[in-house]
Copies of this chain bind each other. A is one copy, B any other.
Amino acid sequence: MPTVPAKRDTYTPDSLLTVAVRVFNERGYDGTSMEHLSKAAGISKSSIYHHVRGKEELLRRAISRALDGLFGILDEPAAVDGPAIDRLEHVARRTTEVLMSELPYVTLLLRVRGNTDTERWAMARRRDFDQRVTALLRQAAAEGDLRTDVDPRLATRLLFGMINSLVEWYRPDRGGRTPGPDPEVADAVVRTAFAGLRT
Protein backbone atom coordinates (compact mmCIF):
# COMPACT_ATOMS: atom_id res chain seq x y z
CA MET A 1 0.00 0.00 0.00
CA PRO A 2 1.51 3.40 -0.92
CA THR A 3 2.47 5.47 2.06
CA VAL A 4 1.67 9.14 2.50
CA PRO A 5 4.43 11.47 1.21
CA ALA A 6 6.89 12.04 4.03
CA LYS A 7 6.26 15.18 6.09
CA ARG A 8 7.90 15.82 9.39
CA ASP A 9 5.38 15.39 12.16
CA THR A 10 5.29 18.80 13.78
CA TYR A 11 1.74 18.41 15.09
CA THR A 12 0.68 19.22 18.60
CA PRO A 13 -2.45 17.54 19.99
CA ASP A 14 -4.36 20.79 19.30
CA SER A 15 -3.23 21.30 15.71
CA LEU A 16 -3.89 17.65 14.86
CA LEU A 17 -7.36 18.04 16.36
CA THR A 18 -8.05 21.06 14.12
CA VAL A 19 -7.33 18.94 11.03
CA ALA A 20 -9.35 15.97 12.29
CA VAL A 21 -12.42 18.10 13.09
CA ARG A 22 -12.34 19.65 9.63
CA VAL A 23 -12.26 16.18 8.04
CA PHE A 24 -14.99 14.84 10.37
CA ASN A 25 -17.25 17.76 9.42
CA GLU A 26 -16.56 17.34 5.70
CA ARG A 27 -16.94 13.55 5.47
CA GLY A 28 -18.98 12.76 8.54
CA TYR A 29 -17.40 10.96 11.48
CA ASP A 30 -18.56 7.53 10.28
CA GLY A 31 -17.23 8.20 6.79
CA THR A 32 -13.75 9.20 8.01
CA SER A 33 -11.00 6.56 8.16
CA MET A 34 -7.51 6.85 9.67
CA GLU A 35 -6.34 6.87 6.04
CA HIS A 36 -8.38 10.04 5.39
CA LEU A 37 -6.94 11.68 8.51
CA SER A 38 -3.42 10.66 7.50
CA LYS A 39 -3.87 12.18 4.02
CA ALA A 40 -5.40 15.40 5.33
CA ALA A 41 -2.66 15.85 7.94
CA GLY A 42 0.08 14.83 5.53
CA ILE A 43 1.67 12.46 8.05
CA SER A 44 1.59 8.68 8.31
CA LYS A 45 -1.01 6.77 10.25
CA SER A 46 1.65 5.57 12.68
CA SER A 47 2.55 9.22 13.35
CA ILE A 48 -1.11 9.88 14.19
CA TYR A 49 -1.12 6.85 16.50
CA HIS A 50 1.84 8.47 18.21
CA HIS A 51 -0.53 11.27 19.29
CA VAL A 52 -3.83 9.45 19.84
CA ARG A 53 -5.17 5.93 20.18
CA GLY A 54 -7.47 6.36 17.20
CA LYS A 55 -10.20 8.47 15.62
CA GLU A 56 -12.62 7.98 18.51
CA GLU A 57 -10.14 9.70 20.85
CA LEU A 58 -9.99 12.64 18.41
CA LEU A 59 -13.79 12.77 18.42
CA ARG A 60 -13.90 12.68 22.21
CA ARG A 61 -11.40 15.53 22.50
CA ALA A 62 -13.25 17.64 19.93
CA ILE A 63 -16.64 17.04 21.53
CA SER A 64 -15.18 17.78 24.99
CA ARG A 65 -13.98 21.14 23.77
CA ALA A 66 -17.49 22.02 22.52
CA LEU A 67 -19.15 20.75 25.71
CA ASP A 68 -16.67 22.56 27.99
CA GLY A 69 -17.53 25.80 26.18
CA LEU A 70 -21.27 25.23 26.48
CA PHE A 71 -21.40 23.94 30.08
CA GLY A 72 -19.00 26.70 31.14
CA ILE A 73 -21.77 29.19 30.30
CA LEU A 74 -24.08 27.70 32.93
CA ASP A 75 -21.52 28.50 35.66
CA GLU A 76 -21.05 32.15 34.66
CA PRO A 77 -22.35 34.59 37.32
CA ALA A 78 -25.02 36.01 34.96
CA ALA A 79 -26.35 32.47 34.42
CA VAL A 80 -26.52 31.79 38.14
CA ASP A 81 -27.83 34.98 39.79
CA GLY A 82 -30.92 37.07 39.12
CA PRO A 83 -34.35 36.51 37.60
CA ALA A 84 -34.54 33.34 35.51
CA ILE A 85 -35.57 35.26 32.37
CA ASP A 86 -32.34 37.30 32.48
CA ARG A 87 -30.25 34.20 33.14
CA LEU A 88 -31.96 32.54 30.18
CA GLU A 89 -31.21 35.49 27.92
CA HIS A 90 -27.60 35.38 29.03
CA VAL A 91 -27.40 31.66 28.25
CA ALA A 92 -28.95 32.22 24.81
CA ARG A 93 -26.53 35.04 24.00
CA ARG A 94 -23.46 33.19 25.25
CA THR A 95 -24.46 29.92 23.56
CA THR A 96 -24.65 31.84 20.29
CA GLU A 97 -21.20 33.33 20.97
CA VAL A 98 -19.62 29.99 21.88
CA LEU A 99 -21.15 28.46 18.78
CA MET A 100 -19.47 31.15 16.65
CA SER A 101 -16.09 31.00 18.39
CA GLU A 102 -15.99 27.18 18.52
CA LEU A 103 -17.88 26.66 15.25
CA PRO A 104 -16.19 23.45 13.95
CA TYR A 105 -16.32 21.78 17.37
CA VAL A 106 -19.97 22.60 18.05
CA THR A 107 -20.87 21.65 14.45
CA LEU A 108 -19.38 18.22 15.10
CA LEU A 109 -21.24 17.94 18.42
CA LEU A 110 -24.56 18.79 16.77
CA ARG A 111 -24.06 16.23 14.00
CA VAL A 112 -23.10 13.13 15.99
CA ARG A 113 -25.72 10.44 15.79
CA GLY A 114 -24.83 7.83 18.35
CA ASN A 115 -23.09 4.82 16.81
CA THR A 116 -20.19 4.66 19.29
CA ASP A 117 -19.86 5.12 23.06
CA THR A 118 -18.35 8.57 22.52
CA GLU A 119 -21.24 9.64 20.30
CA ARG A 120 -23.82 8.33 22.75
CA TRP A 121 -22.03 10.17 25.56
CA ALA A 122 -22.06 13.37 23.46
CA MET A 123 -25.79 13.04 22.84
CA ALA A 124 -26.46 12.42 26.54
CA ARG A 125 -24.48 15.55 27.47
CA ARG A 126 -26.42 17.59 24.88
CA ARG A 127 -29.66 16.39 26.46
CA ASP A 128 -28.31 17.40 29.90
CA PHE A 129 -27.59 20.88 28.60
CA ASP A 130 -31.04 21.18 27.02
CA GLN A 131 -32.68 20.01 30.26
CA ARG A 132 -30.77 22.63 32.27
CA VAL A 133 -32.11 25.29 29.88
CA THR A 134 -35.64 23.86 29.98
CA ALA A 135 -35.49 24.11 33.80
CA LEU A 136 -34.57 27.80 33.44
CA LEU A 137 -37.55 28.32 31.12
CA ARG A 138 -39.89 26.68 33.63
CA GLN A 139 -38.54 28.89 36.38
CA ALA A 140 -38.93 32.03 34.25
CA ALA A 141 -42.52 31.00 33.56
CA ALA A 142 -43.11 30.44 37.30
CA GLU A 143 -41.70 33.92 37.96
CA GLY A 144 -44.22 35.33 35.47
CA ASP A 145 -41.64 36.56 32.98
CA LEU A 146 -42.08 33.96 30.27
CA ARG A 147 -45.17 33.46 28.15
CA THR A 148 -47.07 30.44 29.38
CA ASP A 149 -48.83 29.54 26.11
CA VAL A 150 -45.70 27.84 24.72
CA ASP A 151 -44.64 24.59 26.36
CA PRO A 152 -41.16 24.98 27.92
CA ARG A 153 -39.73 21.90 26.19
CA LEU A 154 -41.04 23.10 22.83
CA ALA A 155 -39.69 26.60 23.49
CA THR A 156 -36.27 25.12 24.32
CA ARG A 157 -36.26 23.26 21.03
CA LEU A 158 -37.26 26.33 19.03
CA LEU A 159 -34.69 28.51 20.81
CA PHE A 160 -31.89 26.04 20.15
CA GLY A 161 -33.23 25.39 16.67
CA MET A 162 -32.68 29.06 15.95
CA ILE A 163 -29.25 29.19 17.62
CA ASN A 164 -27.96 25.87 16.28
CA SER A 165 -28.94 26.81 12.73
CA LEU A 166 -25.81 28.98 12.75
CA VAL A 167 -23.72 25.91 11.93
CA GLU A 168 -25.56 25.82 8.58
CA TRP A 169 -25.11 29.45 7.52
CA TYR A 170 -22.66 31.35 9.76
CA ARG A 171 -19.25 31.68 8.09
CA PRO A 172 -16.79 33.77 10.15
CA ASP A 173 -14.63 34.55 7.10
CA ARG A 174 -17.47 35.91 4.97
CA GLY A 175 -18.57 39.50 4.42
CA GLY A 176 -15.50 41.14 5.91
CA ARG A 177 -16.29 40.10 9.47
CA THR A 178 -13.70 40.83 12.09
CA PRO A 179 -12.37 37.70 13.81
CA GLY A 180 -14.33 36.34 16.75
CA PRO A 181 -18.05 36.08 17.43
CA ASP A 182 -20.20 38.61 15.56
CA PRO A 183 -22.10 40.61 18.23
CA GLU A 184 -24.84 41.49 15.68
CA VAL A 185 -25.77 37.81 15.40
CA ALA A 186 -25.96 37.30 19.17
CA ASP A 187 -28.08 40.47 19.52
CA ALA A 188 -30.40 39.31 16.74
CA VAL A 189 -30.92 35.92 18.41
CA VAL A 190 -31.76 37.49 21.76
CA ARG A 191 -34.09 40.11 20.27
CA THR A 192 -35.91 37.66 18.03
CA ALA A 193 -36.33 34.91 20.62
CA PHE A 194 -37.21 37.07 23.63
CA ALA A 195 -38.86 40.18 22.25
CA GLY A 196 -40.10 38.85 18.89
CA LEU A 197 -39.82 40.30 15.41
CA ARG A 198 -43.07 42.26 15.59
CA THR A 199 -42.88 45.85 16.86
Contact = CB atoms under 8 A, between A and B. Distances in A.
A165 B169 contact: no
Contact of A199 (B145, B154, B198): B145
Interface in A130-171: 137, 144-147, 149-151, 154-155, 157-166, 168-169
Interface residues of A, number: 39
Contacts of A194: 196-198
A146 B158 CA distance: 20
B164 A161 contact: yes
Given A147-B191, A188-B150, A191-B147, A197 B155 contact: yes
B151 A188 contact: yes
B165 A160 contact: yes
Given A161-B161, A162-B162, A192 B196 contact: yes
A16 interface: no
Interface string A181-199: 0001101110111111111
A147 B195 contact: yes
A171 to B, nearest CB: 12
Contacts of A195: 147, 196, 198
A122 interface: no
A155 to B, nearest CB: 6
A48 B105 CA distance: 41
A73 interface: no
Given A147-B199, A154-B188, 4 more contacts: A144-B199, A149-B191, A158-B192, A161-B166
Interface of A: 28, 31, 85, 137, 144-147, 149-151, 154-155, 157-166, 168-169, 184-185, 187-189, 191-199
